[in-house]
Amino acid sequence: MTLTPLTSDLLAQVPHGFFTRIGGSSTGLYHGLNCGRGSDDAPAAVKNNRRAVAHFLGQPADHLQSVHQIHSANVQILTTPLTDAPKADAMVTASAGVILGVLTADCQPVLFHDATAGVIGAAHAGHKGAKLGVLQNTLAAMETLGARRQDICAVIGPCISQEAYEVGPEFLEDICHDAPEALRFFAQGKGDRYQFDLPSYSLEQLRAAGVKEATWTGHCTYSAPDQFYSYRRSVHEHQPDYGRLISCICL
């Protein structure tokens, strides 16, 4: 089946895609384009899926780079291909032909491009990484390669929406403890529950950091099971594991 990545006009000058689960070699629980090496899917299927993504973007499989994501603010600057998977949650490069790929299943994939400087970035930003500053750190790392944040466009891909992201009071306290103004990203839910607006929270961070333009594709991973994998949905459905979506950009 043909791969069906979502794209953004803000990144139209470079090959990129927020890949859905449609297409790919995985079967059963993971059916579709599962690109998560950390899942319990058949390694051969994951390898084939990642190869298909690289080829879709016009590059050989070994040009697809990814890191060991740990919900941190760590950013890896790539000047040569990775020989291992360092612990980080974002990557930046100015090297042509290198595909930056991040894996998500409700967290935000964020792709960056400075068309003037020829610098790209990709970040995995759940609420932990976003609170720690992974998006701001990605911008700073791009600047070390010659980018200027006023020339950077950033696009948040499919992630969990506010309607599906129910959290408890301790979550609200954690987010708002040092930033009480973040309370506006919470809506009252049932009882002591709240609904957290992760993409709006991150869009505010990006715009406050001075990027040229930032947007969200508007797709919710939880509410579209035929299109996206979702960690939270897998928990609610008592599934033993879940697939991972991949979002990529290259020069």
Q: Domain containing 90: what range? A: 9-159+214-250
What's the domain count of the chain?
A: 1
User: In whole angstroms, what separates CA 29 from the centre of its chain?
Assistant: 22
What CATH number is associated with residue 125? 3.60.140.10
Q: For strands 166-167 and 194-196, give the pairing.
A: antiparallel
Please indicate, yes or no, if residue 196 is contained in any of the structural domains.
Answer: no
Asked whether 138 and 112 are in contact (CB, 8 A), the reply is yes
Could you read off the pLDDT tens digit of each residue along the chain, which spans 251 residues?
A: 689 999 999 999 999 999 999 999 999 999 999 999 999 999 999 999 999 999 999 999 999 999 999 999 999 999 888 888 899 999 999 999 999 999 999 999 999 999 999 999 999 999 999 999 999 999 999 999 999 999 999 999 999 999 999 999 999 999 999 999 999 999 999 999 999 999 999 999 999 999 999 999 999 999 999 999 999 999 999 999 999 999 999 99
DSSP string, 123-139: EEE-HHHHHHTHHHHHH
Q: Taking the CB of residue 87, how many other CB atoms lie within 10 A of it?
A: 11
Asked whether 23 and 3 are in contact (CB, 8 A), the reply is yes
Classify residue 222 by its DSSP letter. T
Please indicate, yes or no, if residue 205 is contained in any of the structural domains.
Answer: no
Tell me the angle at which helices 198-208 and 134-144 cross, rounded to the nearest 10 degrees: 40
Please indicate, yes or no, if residue 33 is contained in any of the structural domains.
Answer: yes
How much is the pTM? Answer: 0.97
